[in-house]
Structure 1
C-alpha cells in the first residue's frame, strides 16, 4: 500500500542517488579507478556502511565517488534520467532533485551545460516514465557549496533556467563554520528576482543556523531543520512549550524537509522511533518526508514512509498529510501544485483508503 501511495519529494540529492551499477559502469568507461570495489552489490553496501558514521563530514566524503563519474554531459544526462525513472517506479509523482553544478566541471564542462545536461536527463526520464504508466514531474534545484564562494554565480544560473526546469536554489555542505550568511549576496539577489530557495539548516548545527537561514537570508524552506526541537521544551504539565523561533516556524508554516534515515546516519537523531519528525507532526509543524541520499542511506520514499509506519506508529492519513504538505511547499506555480494535489494525490490516497 505504501509503495502504491502517490508521493512528493522535496529533498533528494542527484549525486546521492546514483545506481551502484551505474557508478561502476561509468567509472570503468571513464577510467576512474578510485572505487573501493567494482562489484555493484558490494559497492551499494559500502556506500551505506561508509555513511553510517554518525558524522555529517564523514557522510559527505562518500560523494567523491559519485561526483567523479558525473563529469560529462552524457554521464549527467544518464544519471538524471535514471533518477527520474527510479523515483517514478517508487510511486513519486513530484520530485525536486538538487545538485551542485560547481562539482561537475572538473573536465572543463561549463556550468550552463552541466545544468542543461541534467535537465535533458530529467525530461527523458519523465517521458519514459509516462510511457510506462508511472508519470512523474521532476524539477531541479541548483545548489551552491557553502564552503566555496560561488553562491552568487549559481543563484544567477537558477534564475536564468527557472522557466526551463529549475525550481530554485539551495546551499549544502558542512554547516559548522559555514553559516548561511556567507552567501547573503546570493539570497538577496534571489529575493530581488522573486526566486525560490531553500537552505540546509538545523541538521549538524543548531538553532543559530535555522535563525540565520530564516531571518537573515529569507529561506522559503528549511533543508532538514530537525534541530528546531531544541527550541521545544516540556512544561510542568508535560505539554510541549514552543520557544520563539519554534513558534515562528510553526506559525509561518515554514516547510521542514525532513530525512529520517539520513539524520540517523549523521547523528542528528538516534532512531526512526524517536526521530523528532513525529513530535513535530503531532504539533502540526509543516513537516515533509524525504530521502536525502538514496544511495548512501540505501533508501527510497516507500522505505522512509514504511519505517515511520512500522517504528513510529504513522498511518495512511499521516502519509497523506505530509504528502500534501510537500505539494503545498513545492517550488511550482500555485495552479500546478493544486492540480497535482486535487487530481493525483488526494484521489490516490482516497483509492488506497477505500
Structure 2
C-alpha cells in the first residue's frame, strides 16, 4: 500500500501520481547524453557543446532566449542525430523509459517520419524503428517496476506536401501502435485546410487525428481545424481565450460562439504551459489561460510538448500549475481523467485505465493526506 508521509503537494509526490500525456514530441525529448553519443556515432560535428551537462544548458538557454531562430535551431540538432535505425530505436526506447519513471501510465508521442530520411531510411523503416524502440522501452520500464503504454502519432509538416502519404501510413500501422495523425509546423501561411485531403481520408478510415492550432496563430486556425478539418483534438488551442471576454470587475466570463462550441462539444485542448511561455504565446505560467479554461470547464489537458527544450516533465508541469493556481489532487486528477478520456484508444481501454490505475492511484494519494 502506498503511504506518503509528506502532506504537501510537491514534485516528488506528483511523480508518483498516475499521469497521462497526449502532446509530446519525440525529437523534443532526447537525453543530452544520447545526443552526444549519437553525434559521435554518426559523425555529426555541429553540436554547440560536446559535454552533456553543457549541451543540456545550451538547449535550455536557446529555448528561453526569445529568439525563434535559436529555438528552431535546437530541433536541427536533435533531428540531425535521429537519422539511423539504431538512433531512432534508442531515442524511442529512452522516451518510454523516461516517461514511465515520471509516473506516466499512458502517453501519445508524436514525430514526423519525413524528417528522418537524410541517411537513406524510407518512411516505413522510420516508423518501424520507432515502434520497435517504444516496445523496447515499455519492456525496460516494466522490468524497472513502471507500467506505461505508448501510442504513436505520425505527424506531417504543414509546409510540405506529404500529409496524405503520412496519413495513409498512420492507418496502415494503426494495429501496430500508431494511434493517430497530426500536422505541425508554422501556422501562419500554412492553414490546416491545405491538408484537407489527408483529414478527409482519416475520417473515411474511421481514424483519429489532432491538429496543431491556436498557438502562434489565432481563432481562424482553431475554426479551420474544427469546422473544415474535423479535428478530434487541438494541439495547444491556447488562443481560444481570444473568444472569451473576462470583465475587469471579476464578473462572469462571456464566451463567443467559437469558444462556446469548443466547450459544448468537449473538444480536447492539449495545453503545454512551459512551452507556451517559451514561444511567447503567453507571458508566464501564472498568466496562462489554462487557469481560466479549467474554471470554465473546458476539456483541458496538461502536456510537455518538448521536454528537452523546456527542461520539463509532466510532473514538473503539474507542479508549476499547482503553485500558480493553488491546485490540489482533485485538480490534477481532473486534468488526468480529461486526458485519458481524450486519448486515441478504444473506449473500453480508456475506461480500464481510468478505473484500474488512475482513480485508484489518486485515491491512495488523497488518502495519505
Q: Indicate whether the TM-score tops 0.5.
A: yes
**Partner in structure 1 of residue 302 of structure 2:** 289
For normalisation by structure 1, the TM-score amounts to 0.98
1:121 equivalent in alignment to 2:96? no
**Of 213, 232, 237, which aligns to 1:220?**
232
Counterpart of 1:263?
A: 276
Please tell me whether residue 14 in structure 1 is matched to residue 23 in structure 2.
no
Are residue 76 (structure 1) and residue 93 (structure 2) matched? no
Q: State the distance in 2 between where 1:33 and 1:80 align.
A: 23
Residue 101 of structure 1 corresponds to 113
Q: Does 1:278 align with 2:291?
A: yes
| Residue in structure 2 matched with residue 339 of structure 1 by the alignment | 352
CA distance in 2, matches of 1:260, 1:237: 23
Out of 198, 201, 217, which is 1:205 matched to?
217
Shift in Å, 1:148: 0.5
Q: Does 1:310 align with 2:318?
A: no
List per-residue Cα deviations over 1:159-198 (Å, max 9, x = no partner): 0000100000000011111111111110011111111000
The C-alpha deviation readout for 1:194-250, integer Å capped at 9, x for no partner, is: 110000000000000000000000000000000000000035872100000000000
Note the C-alpha offset of 1:312. 2.0
SS in 1 for 2:99: helix
Deviation at 1:51, TM superposition (A): 1.1
Q: Normalising by structure 2, what TM-score?
A: 0.94
Secondary structure of the structure 2 residue equivalent to 1:50: helix
Counterpart in the other structure of 2:5: none
Give the secondary structure class of the aligned counterpart of 1:114: helix
Query: Is 1:161 matched up with 2:173?
Result: yes
Which secondary structure does the structure 1 equivalent of 2:211 belong to? strand
Which sections of structure 2, spanning at least 5 residues, go unmatched?
1-12
State the match for 1:140 in structure 2.
Answer: 152
Q: Aligned-pair distance for 1:315?
A: 1.1
Segments ≥4 residues shifted beyond 4 Å:
55-58
Are 2:346 and 1:300 equivalent residues in the alignment? Answer: no
State the Cα distance separating 1:54 from its structure 2 match.
Answer: 3.4
Root mean square deviation of aligned Cα = 1.0
3-state secondary structure, aligned to 2:360: helix
CA distance in 2, matches of 1:25, 1:42: 14
Cα 1:337–1:241, aligned 2, differ >3 Å: closer, same or farther?
Answer: same
Q: Name which of structure 1's ranges 215-224 and 311-320 shifts more when overlaid on structure 2.
A: 311-320
- Deviation for aligned residue 1:310: 1.2
**How far apart in 1 are the matches of 2:115 and 2:195?**
17
